[in-house]
Every structure is written in C-alpha cells, then in structure tokens.
Amino acid sequence: MTSSVPHSKTAFQALLSRSSTDDLLTPAPQGEQLERILSAGVRAPDHGKLRPWRYIVVQGDARAALAHEVVAALERQAPETPEKKKEKMVHRFSTMPMVIGLGMALRPDGKIPLQEQVMASAAGAMNVLNGLHLEGFGGVWVSGVYCDDRTLLTRLGVDGLAGFLFVGTPQEPERVKRRPDVAHYMVDWNGLGDVSFPVDERES
C-alpha cells in the first residue's frame, strides 16, 4: 500500500535534525506563522476528539508577570527551593523571546482515560516543537512541580499544565545534538518468548 502523502527526503531530514535549545534570540514566530505552527499541535492524535490542547502565548512585559507567577507557584509547591534557582527561573521566563504555556483541558470523569488525554496534550506539544523547527525557529520544553499548583492553573485558565515551551530563533541553527542509535531501542518481536532490548542488556 502506497502513502497518499508524497515522500520528501528534505522534510524528513529536517525532522531528524531537530534538537531542543534554550539559546534563543528574537524574533519568535508571529501572526499567521505562529497560528500555522500551533495548528500542527491540534493535529496530534486525540482519542475521543476531546481536543485537550490549550496554548497560552506570552510575550513582551507579560513574560515577567508569568515569571513571578511561576516562581510563586514553585514556592508554594517546594518552599525549600534555593533562592539562586528561583532567580534563574525568573530570568529565563522573563527573557525568552516567547513562552507558550502547554495548558490541558482535562475530563477526569469522561470515557477516555486521563492518561490518554495527557498523552494527546504531550503529542501536541511535540508537534509544535517540530513545527517550530520546520519554520526555522527553536524551542525547549520545561516543566516542574509548579505545574501542579492550583493557583497557577487558575490564573492561566486551565485544568492542567504540561509545562512551557521557550521559543525563539536559535543562536546556533546548524548545531545538532548527538542522538542515540535507534537500533538500541527497537526489537522485532516474533511472538515467541520475552523481549529484551539491546540498550537494557548493555546497561544491566
């Protein structure tokens, strides 16, 4: 059976060249380009068509406001957090060209398991990262205990938070991080006996 989508070696090589980075400069995507990138997010697998994705775009002076909200949430969830770490978080959230909150509209009492709803949200986030890369931008996905803070969730208008994307233009667009060999992470299962992955054998 042949695919209905034309194979593009260039597009596939671009996907293989993606890597996360927080060494970001302006500009960040705007207008129709940003909408196109986020549209990739809402094309993620979505069991039950629940559409859990909620993208919160933060720019300009709002970045500093978000930074203080996030640190306040961190202080409530982990009051022992060192001041140095909190100062670093304020700086990062305040200075990234753009921050996108990965909000989730979850239905814990619905027919679709909550885990699948969270996975749909995560799949959407990965699509957005790929979309950013294909449009010439970069990003990194960050999260922490602050994502569980009810006050922060209420401020952002969401039921759950999968983290944040820091978004902008990579300072080193040609730099690709070394990736592991996929052969260590795959097996052909023949239906006979248990499976053992090469990476697990090597690490045992």
Q: What is the mean pLDDT of each run of 10 residues along the chain (204 residues)?
A: 58 90 97 98 97 98 98 98 98 98 96 97 98 96 98 98 98 79 94 92 70
3-state helix, strand, coil split of the chain in percent (to 5) is 45, 15, 40
pLDDT at 1: 45
pLDDT at 57: 98
pLDDT at 178: 82
pLDDT at 204: 57
pLDDT at 11: 85
pLDDT at 203: 62
Q: Which of the following CATH numbers is that of domain 18-172: 3.10.450.40, 3.40.109.10, 3.40.50.2300, 3.40.50.300? A: 3.40.109.10
CA 17 to CA 89: how far, in whole Å? 28
What is the separation of C-alpha 113 from the centre of its chain, rounded to a whole number of angstroms? 21
Single pTM value for the model: 0.92
pLDDT at 173: 72
pLDDT at 23: 96
CA 134 to CA 23: how far, in whole Å? 17
Q: Name the residue ranges covered by the structural domains of the chain.
A: 18-172
Length of the chain as a residue count: 204
pLDDT at 133: 96
Is residue 149 within 8 Å of 77, Cβ to Cβ? yes
What is the separation of C-alpha 45 from the centre of its chain, rounded to a whole number of angstroms? 15
CA 110 to CA 87: how far, in whole Å? 40
Sign of the Cα pseudo-torsion (37, 23, 171, 98, in order): positive
CA 58 to CA 95: how far, in whole Å? 11
pLDDT at 184: 95
